[in-house]
Structure 1
Amino acid sequence: MLREFLVARTVCHSNSLPLTLSARSLPRLHMIIRVGLVRERVNRNDRAIVALVMLAHGMVHTYELSIPIFVSIWLSEYTTVELGLAAVPVTTASLGVMVGLGFALFGLGALPGGVLVDRVGSKRLIVACLAGMSASFVLLAAAPNLVVVALALILWGAAASVYHPAGLRLISTGVEERGTGFAYHGIAGNLGIGFGPFLTALLLLFFDWQLVAGVLAIPALVAAVFATRADFEEQAAVTAADGGAGTSADKSSTGVSSLGEFFTESRALFASGFALVFAVVMFSGLYYRGVTTFLPDLIDSVLDIDPVPLSALLPTALVPGSAAGAPTLELELYVYAGLLTIGVVGQYVGGKLTDRIPTERGLVVGFAALAVVAVAFLPVASLGVAPLLAICALLGFFLFMVQPFYQATVAEYTPAGLRGLSYGFTYLGVFGVGALGGAIAGFVLDVANSTTLFLVLAGFAAAASLLGVTLLRKRATPA
């Protein structure tokens, strides 16, 4: 069929038909041309959407993971937070609250973002997200004190929060090969997760943190300009890949338009299989934040390698500062960044598998593997550096392999008209409820030890896997 289409297209671009083309063959030729043109348009639409969401997703996580790199600088550079009538000492606790405001909005804003995207469309919100993140880092670069720094982080959290419901809704309703779209989307996010802190740390070796923040504002602004010029059909895949039933909205609906409708549709969503999916993503978020928050310290304790002076790697003329105060490379941070980058492979494999196996089965296997990795992590890591790197690689692979599976599962258990709302709830669970994972991990480490922590994490993963089993059984049960 493809060869016939190419021949037909060549024929159509010529000035006349060949003499061998009979009137009898014209209907078939017309059908071939129409099918070929539709396929070309679909492929072009998929490529345009995937290119945009990859760019935006990578940007979101680049900025997200660059912010913690600045925290150590703020701790040493500032002594108090001036609040007018009072001055608060700068400590890890006060900075934690300040940074936490931005990260809290990153999770909590996903729900209103999901409601909004069903009304105004994905492209507009993605453009607003990119422009807002750029503006927040411009404000950060110009911040004269920590109060303005806090305002900049709040602006970043509000702008970034709308991305996941907008981007994932766009893939689920506009991309025919949904699993592949989720795979490439996740790959870009992992590249941002690994590249963001690496690039920021590298720039800070040579430049002031405010200049670095200003430089980081440029890519998001360029991406926003690109997004405004992107051309695609947001609903191209609705007919072919519409989600499940169970709510009062069908695939042609345009989201919720009032508070009453929001509560009505939300109740309908959670009365369906989406409630189980939401529980899965909450446990996924708890595991993710719980394991990543303190992993660099654990890697450092196992590696037991002193920081490497930059002067040992670069000519003296290129090293900023005096010989005594020359910057050093903290190797555990780069191992950690490498672990996160390995998630690229997990994202790709998981995304591809969502097109080939039931997504519920992928959830069962993926989270069961994470439970095993959590139980085995410390015993394996204690065997030496090579086993530590191997178990970290497995952790990075499975930690991100499950993401395309739960993203695709949300699309299967929700109608297209409420897809933004559904992903809003999803990332409220992942980043909002999931943010408690770091606090839980810190508490467990304070009252117990790292062995107990990994057993708790294994429990989160096991619970998610069992919920996947329940979803798989519901799929197998005739309606």
Structure 2
Amino acid sequence: MGLNTNDRSIAGFTMAGHSLVHWFETSIPIFLVVWLAEFDVSVALLGIIVALGYAPFGLGALPGGILADRYGTKRLILLCLLGMSGSFIILALASIADSIYAIAVGLVLWGIAASIYHPAGLALISTGVDERGTVFAWHGIAGNVGIALGPFVAATLLIFLEWQYVAAILAVPGVLAALYGLQADFDPTAAVEADVDAGPDEELSLADLVSNSRTLFASAFAVVFVIVTFEGLFYRGMLTYLPEILHGLPVMDGITIGAGFDGIQPADYIYVGLLVVGMAGQYAGGKLTNRLAAERGLMGIFVVLAVLALVFVPVTSLGLVPLLALCGVIGFFLFAIQPFYQEAVAVHTPADTRGLSYGYTYLGEFGFGSASIALGGFVLGSFQLMAFFAMLSVFALIGAALSFGLYVRINGGYGATDDVSA
């Protein structure tokens, strides 16, 4: 079945938003080297400043979801796009103030604005789209495009322009996407029953928030939340440290790109290739959610990820081609799992609290899941490489066990009380 007009309109709007969130997110590290030289600050201080920018990206997901339920998803996504673009304009103007603290302000504002997107965008898809799995797939692919293009475009522009002009140019697509969104016409509640109020709730109170949260965590969503957190632990740990791990592998020694490409490492191409393969994983996972129960899909992919983590170190001793193949498979399944947990949230939550549900979801994914960055750094610094991948494998196996438990619970007669979706 193809997408109807409403589905296509929502898909285009959310794909633009998702790609731009990651476009901005992954371009920030490209500026770090330039800022170190521009403002003559220590790596430690700049690291703290950048961390302050990234922190709201995860921690702000919950209030972002609450605001999406109260004021409407389209309005929040437009605010997100304009806020991210405005933040990069502030970064560009920081050179005039000649202050690293102006950089800090721009980054913090970016993190706050960006945190809105995932709960609002996914809530919009879940309540407005009939072919949810297909749109989740394309939505995920758009995110991967942004992940790959953000650093590529920023690095390329920095060859020719000063960093402040690059920051300003990167802000332009966000403004254009907001203008597109203003004229986009769609029904944000087309996929829910007529008697379900999934629209903006102007009267949401603290008591309502507490009540809705209790309802969510008294249902199967509580298990879904923990599953997403362990997926986040695996995802953040793998993507944060894999580039550095690839750079240090003996199999990479002596491999060069060629004349005229100084500073570009073969490991960087492997990492980008993994992200590109992830687009195929996103699409395949999204399409499979239309045919396979979310709990079964999560369980199967978690098991695959656990195995892939355990075989990583042995495969590196087999040569470059096996390593390339393994990284491609990791990229495929690392992103194929995402439409399944997004679908699980949609299945196990009521439509009128979908923004709140996805707010909690991305608090787990980007907030609690980021704990694996600290854990991974400790493990890599204290133990052999195999211990790091064993840690990731444990995260995946716990996710698989929880998914299996949820599947048994739902199919054992408890679905009528635990599935609170519309």
Q: Please give the range of the TM-score, normalised by the shorter of the 2 chains.
A: over 0.9
Question: Is 1:451 equivalent to 2:389 in the alignment?
Answer: no
Question: Is 1:336 equivalent to 2:271 in the alignment?
Answer: yes
Q: CA contact under 8 A between 2:189 and 2:198: conserved in structure 1?
A: no
Question: Is 1:352 equivalent to 2:352 in the alignment?
Answer: no
Give, in whole Å, the separation in 2 of the partners of 1:252 and 1:171.
Answer: 12
Q: 1:468 aligns with which of 403, 410, 416?
A: 403
Unaligned runs of 5+ in 2: 415-422
Within 5 A, what are the aligned runs for 1:404-443? 404-443=339-378
- 3-state SS, counterpart of residue 190 of structure 2: coil
Q: Which ranges of 4 or more aligned residues in structure 1 deviate by more than 6 Å?
A: none
Distance 1:389 1:252, change over 3 A: closer
Distance 1:55 1:373, change over 3 A: same
Give, in whole Å, the separation in 1 of the partners of 2:403 and 2:90.
Answer: 43
Q: 1:155 aligns with which of 109, 120, 123?
A: 109
Q: 2:216 aligns with which of 263, 269, 291?
A: 269
Question: Is 1:121 equivalent to 2:87 in the alignment?
Answer: no
Question: Is 1:312 equivalent to 2:260 in the alignment?
Answer: yes
- 3-state SS, counterpart of residue 343 of structure 1: helix
Shift of 1:361: 0.4
Q: Which residue of 2 aligns with 1:185?
A: 139
Q: CA contact under 8 A between 1:282 and 1:434: conserved in structure 2?
A: yes
Question: Is 1:47 equivalent to 2:8 in the alignment?
Answer: yes
Would you tell me which structure has more helix in proportion to its own residues?
2
Give, in whole Å, the separation in 2 of the partners of 1:308 and 1:199.
Answer: 20
Shift of 1:358: 0.5
Distance 1:350 1:94, change over 3 A: same
Distance 1:418 1:441, change over 3 A: same
The two structures, once aligned, show a CA RMSD in angstroms of 1.9
Question: Which digits, 9 at most, give the CA deviation of each residue in 1:111-169, with x for residues without a partner?
Answer: 01100111111111111111111111111111122111111100110111000011000
Question: Is 1:111 equivalent to 2:62 in the alignment?
Answer: yes
Question: Which digits, 9 at most, give the CA deviation of each residue in 1:62-120, with x for residues without a partner?
Answer: 1111111111222333323xxxxxxxxx12x3222111111110011110110011111
Q: 2:24 aligns with which of 44, 47, 63?
A: 63
Q: 2:236 aligns with which of 264, 285, 289?
A: 289
Shift of 1:199: 1.7
Question: Is 1:78 equivalent to 2:36 in the alignment?
Answer: no
Question: Which digits, 9 at most, give the CA deviation of each residue in 1:234-276, with x for residues without a partner?
Answer: 0000129x9xxxxxxx655755711122112112211110010
Structure scoring higher RCO (CA < 8 A, sep ≥ 6) equals 2
Distance 1:219 1:395, change over 3 A: same
Q: Which residue of 1 aligns with 2:301?
A: 366
Amino acid corresponding to residue 355 of structure 1 in structure 2: N
Q: CA contact under 8 A between 2:91 and 2:102: conserved in structure 1?
A: yes
Q: Which residue of 2 aligns with 1:299?
A: 246
Distance 1:252 1:312, change over 3 A: closer
Q: Which residue of 1 aligns with 2:87?
A: 136
Q: CA contact under 8 A between 2:77 and 2:120: conserved in structure 1?
A: yes
Q: CA contact under 8 A between 1:251 and 1:415: conserved in structure 2?
A: no
The structure whose Rg is larger is: 1
Question: Which digits, 9 at most, give the CA deviation of each residue in 1:284-341, with x for residues without a partner?
Answer: 11111111111111111232257757x626xxxxxxxxxxxxx632332232122112
Which range is displaced more, 93-102 or 271-280? 93-102
Amino acid corresponding to residue 79 of structure 2 in structure 1: A
* Residue identity (%): 51
Q: CA contact under 8 A between 1:381 and 1:391: conserved in structure 2?
A: no
Q: 1:102 aligns with which of 31, 45, 53?
A: 53
Q: Which residue of 2 aligns with 1:172?
A: 126
TM-score (norm 2): 0.93
